[in-house]
Amino acid sequence: MEGTMVGAFLHSLVSVFHFQNFIMIILGVSVGIIMGALPGIGASTALAIFLPLTYAMPVGASVLLLCSIYAGAEYGGSISAVAIRTPGTGGAAATVIDGYPLAQKGFPGKALGASLYSSVVAGLISAVILAFFTPPLAALGLRFGPPEMFGMAVFGVAIVASLASQVPLKGFISALLGFLIATAGIDQFVGFARYTFNQPALLDGIPVIPAMIGLFALAEAFRMIENKVSSNEKNFDFRKVSFAMLTISEFKGLWRTVLRSSLIGTIIGIIPGVGASVASFIAYDDARRTSKHPEEFGKGSLEGIAAPEAANNAVVGGALIPTLALGIPGSASTAILMGTLIMNDVVPGPFFFEKNPDLSFLIFTGYFVCNLVLLVVGYFSIKACLRALDVPKEILATFIIVVSFLGAYAHGNNYSDMVIMFIFGILGWVFGKINIPVVPCIIAMLLGEMVESNFLSSVLISHGDYLVFFKRPLSAILLLLAAASFVYSVVKDRQLAARIKKIR
């Protein structure tokens, strides 16, 4: 076993440096940094925009491209946080607190340097954790029967739903809508066309990829157009500031913070539904409490930049663990990655490693290498990225809209996919308006078919016993936990509502 592991690792190392794959990593990291830097485009939007490029690629290169974009975007978010006080991604919201003051003092180079080095180190750490924890988790998953898989998926979706928004009830509604959308099309057991409204395009179900492009890219462009007046923060004057980078000795003082934050980020990344923004705030808080100079926090402390940035990049590796090992994506970005894998007929989950050993090692090694590339590309692209912030919102929004249509069309050369993408774009915008989170919906959509088929086969293998889920310990526990997360979050929500009422 050990021998084959090393062999697979070496093999993957060779294929990472295969020309096409390596180009994809460089391209992905560069694009990710720029996209992440642009306010309004988060990691998931960047992934949705660039998804169409992967249609004609081999699966390994596509996954590497998307992972690199994901990692690049998590770092890129700090650029606009530092420069114009607007986090480019949700994960960079905590970076603003110390990054912006430091840049205002005239040291944007040091702020971005701290961000870059911490991001890279955290990415490397989480890559190692990813490589070591995913296979055992998947091995555990292999023992799961249909009832356990059903329980696991319901549990995952329930956690995402309860954590994705301020109002958990809406998260659950969103998840149920996703499950509902996934039921459209020919059903798996008897071939009955459900909810197709006589539209032949819907016989195969609602395609997830165009739906994701609509929800994450097009809806984001709509929001951008709507709020175009709101962001008036000026980019700073390039002549007046120092681009001196962080020195090695300065970074040595950050080691402890970076290590702690990386672990926090990875662990939080593993939990479905808690994304980069939560991780970075927890890491920031932790760094402030354990720092020797807590008084500097908020005024441009390097530790205050390193902690959230390490955490948000570590989330990437962490979030990949349940996605690959169990087939349960915990965030929008991993949902898109999983969608890409499925599109290539690779099903993430317990069988992923047995069936695709080369691909899984390629992902581990590739993700490690992409963090090294991030170091180099990030180092040389700081100025260029700062200039990219001057791109007018109108042009950006137009670009996203046009690319969304193109991406939807190119998905299957289908006109209907464009229409579906457009509908989901508007739907995503409406969801945003009425405060229903999109992520539970998309994850439920992805898992819907799997959940239903596992549900049905569980009932079938137990000869029509609907209580089978509660007769197997693991699935019973998972389902009870899912129910508990619903009850707990909704009750907590009502207490919160009551408290708000009192204050009023």
Binding site for other proteins (CB under 8 A): 52-53, 55-56, 169-170, 172-173, 176-177, 179-180, 183, 187, 189-190, 192, 194-195, 222, 225-226, 228, 392, 394-395, 397-399, 401-402, 405-406, 409-410, 413, 415, 418-419, 422, 425-426, 429, 433-436, 452, 455-456, 459-460, 464, 490, 494, 497, 500-501, 504
Shortest separation between residue 265's beta carbon and other proteins, angstroms: 32
Question: What does the DSSP 8-state code read for residue 215?
Answer: I
Residue 309: how many other CB atoms lie within 10 Å: 38
Question: Which DSSP symbol is given to 423?
Answer: H
Residue whose entry in the numeric block shows the structure tokens 């500097």: 296
Q: CB-wise, 10 or 496, nearer to other proteins?
A: 496
Instruction: Work out the burial of residue 128: count CB atoms within 10 Å of its CB; fewer than 13 is exposed, 13-18 middle, 19 or more buried.
Output: middle
| Residues facing 194 on adjacent strands | 185
- How long is the chain? 504
Q: Closer to other proteins by CB, 293 or 433: give it.
A: 433
Q: At closest approach, how far in Å is the CB of 415 from other proteins? A: 7
Report the distance separating Cα 222 and Cα 183, nearest Å: 28
273 vs 407 by CB, closer to other proteins: 407
The distance of closest approach from Cβ of residue 229 to other proteins in the complex, given in angstroms and rounded to an integer, is: 9
> Which amino acid is it at 3?
G
> For residues 384 and 389, what is the distance between their CA atoms, to the nearest angstrom?
9
Nearer Cβ to other proteins, position 355 or 494? 494
Amino acid identity for residue 170 in this structure: K
Of 63 and 268, the one with the shorter C-beta distance to other proteins is 63
Residue where the block lists tokens 């249909």: 146
Nearest distance from residue 173's CB to other proteins, in Å?
5
> How far apart are alpha carbons 84 and 99 in whole angstroms?
10
**Measured from the CB of residue 39, what is the shortest distance to other proteins in angstroms?**
17
- Give min distance, CB of 154 to other proteins, in A: 11
Residue 176 beta carbon to other proteins: minimum distance, rounded to whole angstroms: 4
| Contact yes or no for 156/272 (Cβ under 8 A) | yes
**Would you call 227 helix, strand, or coil by DSSP?**
coil
- Judged by CB, which is closer to other proteins: 53, or 116? 53
Residue 40 or 265: the one with the smaller Cβ distance to other proteins is: 40
CA dist 378 → 66, 154, 371 (Å) = 17, 39, 10
Smallest distance, Å, CB 31 to other proteins?
13
Nearer to other proteins, 377 or 421 (CB): 421
Whole-number Å distance between alpha carbons of 164 and 181: 19
The b-or-e profile of 210-221 (16+ CB within 10 A means b, else e) is bbbbbbbbbbbb
